[in-house]
């Protein structure tokens, strides 16, 4: 699928979304709804595996949006049964613009029965594991790092599938939130650092696992709790939820960018509303980087809660100076160079009557390459703005993520090669300020800011401090931040 416009890649891409249900009739229908609510986490492809006691395992994998594939009655009838899992994908490992064989969930047939697995995150030692497994006779069907888990399970000597999964995941480094299934069990696992999210819900007499709480809402499920870092839950329709902790306990390192951008604003993380956290980021930003202006304007849609918080704290009026075309899909056809050069205007349009003659503060969630920021600034000036000030609701993104986010190479990140003042000149704006790391930590509820000795979150994309050494990337020549 072509990008909707040439600057769609100027954001960090949401990793993936996973969802599973057990103990309800036609579980695949619930999974399709859940994946629809998680579409923001992956828009490249989706897949569902279901199990029925009479028909066994069935699967469907498709490119594109959930709404375009998993709403067909004829397709959903091929996925019967009271147990199903699903996955929406944006490629972080494996081929970009991947083959259908890279689309999860992955399925394996073991001596004690079949199992399917859907994985959100990235395995940082996947290259080494893949090489070892191939040398020992494994035959890989995809280029995805997640397939390593299936092969490790196949080689395990443990007695049942949950135990084999434990065995396999002990060999894995990096980030993983896994939703898996056997013929009778729904399984959820988070890595010991809890980098990626996973939550448990109750739906009727059954249970659900999801990347975010917003996907529980869509199926009318009750949010029960988050799966804890390092926890494995094994759920059956009859026996309910069994929980244990198979990994060595470590300090939690949840991805702080989930609060900033990845999660939907109507989700709950760590007992906190994502929307309220983003609004509070705007409040902190207004305190840290005040500026005289006439209008606070969000870059839609992810900048909106922070812009509301900034406007409230600063006393400067909030206005929707930029409108998003809601019907602009990723499959838009751009037939000529002239059309392509229109860039952001395909998706965003400026409210000229509101902007003209104003000193405008633009609030956005992040700056990656800076290409979109420059185009938006030009649009605002073309509409007659007197001044343009950027306020960014995250610290400068200066390091790539290796835990399930598709990040450009470090040299392509604007903040990796430029100071804040150099970025301001590059973007040609009147001022540019990012929230500080301490300010971001205060906004997510850490009153004393970031602990330098043991940061409460994974913030490697800002700090360069990686909680799990990215061994595959180091093997390829990536250099870690020098010790201070």
Q: At what angle do helices 126-135 and 147-155 cross, to 10 degrees?
A: 40
Which residues, 6 or more positions from 113, have their beta carbon under 8 angstroms from its beta carbon? 161, 182, 183
Instruction: Considering the candidates 16, 214, 458, 461, report the single residue annotated as catalytic.
Output: 16
Report the distance separating Cα 307 and Cα 296, nearest Å: 6
16 has catalytic annotation: yes
Query: Where on the phi/psi map is residue 268: left (φ > 0), alpha (ψ -120 to 50), or beta?
Result: beta
Cβ proximity of 194 and 228 under 8 Å: yes
User: What stretches of 77-231 show up as alpha helix (H) in DSSP?
Assistant: 126-135, 147-155, 161-170, 214-218
Burial class (CB in 10 A: 0-12, 13-18, 19+), 60: buried
DSSP H helix total and E strand total for the chain = 18, 23
Q: What sign for the dihedral angle of Cα 166, 167, 170, 172?
A: negative
Report the distance separating Cα 414 and Cα 417, nearest Å: 6
User: Smallest Cα–Cα separation from 197: which of 13, 34, 19, 439?
Assistant: 19
CA distances from 97 to 4, 64, 330, 352, 364 (A): 14, 11, 13, 37, 27
User: Smallest Cα–Cα separation from 175: which of 129, 124, 103?
Assistant: 124
Report the distance separating Cα 59 and Cα 141, nearest Å: 16
Residue 122 pairs in a beta bridge with: 175
Half-sphere exposure of 90 (CA within 13 A, CB side): 20
Which residue numbers are catalytic? 16
């Amino acid at each position: 699928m072509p990008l909707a416009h040439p600057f769609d890649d100027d954001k960090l891409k949401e990793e993936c979304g996973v969802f599973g249900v057990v103990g309800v009739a036609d579980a695949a229908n619930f999974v399709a709804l859940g994946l629809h609510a998680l579409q923001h986490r992956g828009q490249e492809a989706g897949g569902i595996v279901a199990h029925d006691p009479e028909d066994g395992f069935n699967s469907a994998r498709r490119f594109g949006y959930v709404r375009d594939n998993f709403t067909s009655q004829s397709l959903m009838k091929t996925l019967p049964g009271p147990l199903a899992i699903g996955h929406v994908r944006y490629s972080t490992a494996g081929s970009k613009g991947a083959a259908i064989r890279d689309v999860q969930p992955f399925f394996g047939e073991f001596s004690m029965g079949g199992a399917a697995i859907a994985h959100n995150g990235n395995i940082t030692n996947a290259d080494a594991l893949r090489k070892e497994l191939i040398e020992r006779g494994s035959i890989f069907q995809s280029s995805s790092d997640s397939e390593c888990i299936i092969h490790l399970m196949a080689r395990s000597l443990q007695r049942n599938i949950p135990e084999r999964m434990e065995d396999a995941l002990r060999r894995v480094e990096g980030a993983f939130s896994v939703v898996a299934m056997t013929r009778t069990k729904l399984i959820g696992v988070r890595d010991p650092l809890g980098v990626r999210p996973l939550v448990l819900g109750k739906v009727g007499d059954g249970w659900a696992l999801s990347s975010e709480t917003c996907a529980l809402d869509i199926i009318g499920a009750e949010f029960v709790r988050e799966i804890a870092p390092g926890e494995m839950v094994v759920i059956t329709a009859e026996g309910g939820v069994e929980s244990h902790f198979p990994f060595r306990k470590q300090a939690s390192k949840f991805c702080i960018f989930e609060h900033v951008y990845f999660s939907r604003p109507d989700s709950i993380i760590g007992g906190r509303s994502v929307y309220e956290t983003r609004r509070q980021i705007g409040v902190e930003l207004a305190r840290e980087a005040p500026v005289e202006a006439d209008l606070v304007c969000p870059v839609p849609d992810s900048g909106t809660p922070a812009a509301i918080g900034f406007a409230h704290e600063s006393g400067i009026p909030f206005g929707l100076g930029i409108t998003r075309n809601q019907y602009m899909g990723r499959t838009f056809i751009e037939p000529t160079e002239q059309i392509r050069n229109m860039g952001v205007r395909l998706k965003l349009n400026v409210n000229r009557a509101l902007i003209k003659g104003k000193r405008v503060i633009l609030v956005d969630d992040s700056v990656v390459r800076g290409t979109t920021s420059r185009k938006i600034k030009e649009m605002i000036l073309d509409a007659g703005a007197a001044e343009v000030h950027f306020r960014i609701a995250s610290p400068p993104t200066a390091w790539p993520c290796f835990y399930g986010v598709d990040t450009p190479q470090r040299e392509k990140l604007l903040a990796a090669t430029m100071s804040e003042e150099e970025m301001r000149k590059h973007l040609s704006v009147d001022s540019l300020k990012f929230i500080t790391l301490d300010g971001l930590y205060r906004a997510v509820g850490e009153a004393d800011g970031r602990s330098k000795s043991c940061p409460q979150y994974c913030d490697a994309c800002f700090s360069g401090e990686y909680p799990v050494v990215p061994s595959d990337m180091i093997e390829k020549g990536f250099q870690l931040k020098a010790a201070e």
